[in-house]
Structure 1
Amino acid sequence: MSGSVLSIGECMVELAQTGPDTYRRGFAGDTFNTAWYARRLLPPEWNVSYGTCVGHDAVSDEMLAFMRDAGIDIRAIRRVEGRSVGLYMISVENGERSFSYWRDQSAARRMTEDMGWIETLLSGRDWIHLSGITLAILPPTGRTALCQALDRARETGTQVSFDTNLRPRLWEGEDAMRAGLTRGAAAADLVLPSFDEETSLFGDATPSDTIARYREGGSAMVVVKDGEGPITLWSEATGERTLSPQPVTPVDTTAAGDSFAAGLLAGLATGADLETAAASAMGLAGGVIQHTGALVPQIFEGGDT
């Protein structure tokens, strides 16, 4: 069995503090993290691609080399003259992390300026994954255009997963956030909301309320995450179910949701039902958060998931 998975969004330069005056450079970003984990979970005959825009500068070259070395297909990535890639810095003070972002000149913000490229990018995929951040970095007209292109891709048999992954600072305001997440979910078969964000933005009282709202919008599968608590999932085949994770001591939750999305996507893509795929995804995320960093290759080497 083979197939094609595409993840769309923004990969950034990450500067993580390792000492009082030292930082380690890496590359990360929510949908890229999902692609990275999916590449390790899916059989080698599956194609895992990343869709974004980068610049023509040295750091863009280094990012592409990093993706290529990770086994991710970068052939469809578009390069934009005069732009580069975004950067974020993680600082640690008294054990608490804080983030600073520089992304105004990110080429990824211009993804939908070439809709011909977008249509080609989406064509022929078995699964496409995107997030609320993917939409938030685009102008409002770009969000609409991308979601319409996803609608057309679904008409040809492609399935779409959407991780709501709310970042308020990237949106124009709460109304834009609500509209963007609702439209993104309407373009998806599988929606992955986080309950705390749904409560804050939509006033949901329970995960069942979140499921009901996305079902009403047309989603075929909904998996509601709730931090370290149980997940609540729904599909027509399974009905509504609750699954509890194995208790672990988290070290770094940076990529908990991204790795969970990858585990779920890989399971569904290779024929697992939603409940089985979700259980496997919870195990993966539980392993990831016991290590530092967004990308944790050692869990695949040591078998501790």
Structure 2
Amino acid sequence: MKKWILSLITGLLTFITAFLISDYTLGLSKDYSLWGFGALLGFVLLFVSITFYYKKFDKLLSSKAITFLSLFSVLIFIFVTSPSLRFSTKVFPSYLSYILAVLGAGIFSAKDFKRKGLYTTLLFLFPLLLNLNLYNTWVHFIEFGNISGKVTNKKTIGFEAKAIDGETVSNESLKGKIVVLDFWFISCGPCWKKFPHLQSLYEQYKDNPAVEIFALNRPMTNDKPMQAFHSIKDRGYNFPVLQGTQKIMDDFDIYVYPTVVVLNRNGSIIYMGTIEGVDEILQKELNN
């Protein structure tokens, strides 16, 4: 009876440990630049903890039971944290890293498994490679449809947005200039996190007559009049803000926030991605 209770407790601890490690490391998704590190960290923590259970509690639970409970925990976690197919696709490398960690721990701890060190190392290579910017490339492709931000199929989209003084700014009025549009909405946490980058970019190019930089706001139902303009000013930023419409978001195919778009002098889209890749694009356009 006592052994049965200890086995049950060990099983629960195995399940909970694997679940919490998966949850913690995927929590790094608040900053997608850390996703590769999160996948690697998740692999290491799961591998170490499950190997520990194999070594310390093999008399209470069989190796198959520990493997099953760990894998079951990870699969339950994946099911619980998958609000949409798009999200699941985006974080799939993390999910796969967790599954490989469970399998790796099982192989490494097996007494009669030949060349287990080699196979464990091969499994470890996957999250290791993700940490070398491959995860960022994967996420960029899922979010923006490209791996570098550079748009090969250039297209021109007509739009009209309002500035704080009521003036209409359009693709026609901006022709002849290189234009940076940072699409955002007021309650978007990641948007505010990236605004210091936008402010730095604005400071760098504000005196260049060939470049225009705007934060293009997506209107939300609970937004107050002029709130988009005032909220930026209240936070100490002075880059220009435009009040957009849902039509503009749809026309530009903006579904991820923030998304930064760069238009060339003809008004065609040449870049769609994150703020980090914009300076390189601007330099190239200015040198052309």
TM bucket normalised to smaller: under 0.3
- Could you state the TM-score of these two structures normalised by the residue count of structure 1? 0.26
- Could you state the TM-score of these two structures normalised by the residue count of structure 2? 0.27
Structure with greater proportional strand content: 1
Higher relative contact order (CA 8 A, sep 6+): 2
Structure with greater proportional helix content: 2
